[in-house]
Amino acid sequence: MAELEVEIVAADHFVWSGAATMVKARTSDGEIGILPGHSPVLAILAEGELAIQPVSGERLTVGVDGGFFSVDSNRVVIVADNARIGGSVTADTK
């Protein structure tokens, strides 16, 4: 099965990249799940958590506080203003 090539970048640093089988994100309209072979999408991220299922290993959650993501030819680029692996951004700042 094809894989997704995922890349997460925050404003001032690189966060994570790797192969994944599924990405679940929250947009301003609702949740969107991306599997390999998804049609190209450019969407706005809402504040909340992203879930990524890497090809190997544990499911990853990334807290973001807004941004956008693009999907094209199995390449997912998640561009967040602030991103933190394993939790929500707001919890970190409080």
Which of the residues 11 through 30 are near other proteins (CB under 8 A)?
A: 11-14, 27-29
User: Applying CB under 8 A, which part among 7-15, 48-56, 57-65, 84-92 lies near other proteins?
Assistant: 7-15
Binding string, residues 39-68; x marks residues near other proteins by CB under 8 A: xxxxxx----------------------xx
> Do β-strands 31-34 and 67-72 pair in parallel, antiparallel, or remain unpaired?
unpaired
Q: Are 17 and 87 in contact (CB under 8 A)?
A: no
Among 19, 22, 32, 35, binds other proteins (CB under 8 A): 32
Nearest to residue 75, comparing CAs of 29, 38, 26?
38
Catalogue the E-assigned strands of 11-59. 14-26, 31-34, 41-45, 48-54
Q: Which residues bind other proteins (CB under 8 A)?
A: 7, 9-14, 27-29, 32, 39-44, 67-68, 70, 72-73, 77, 79, 81
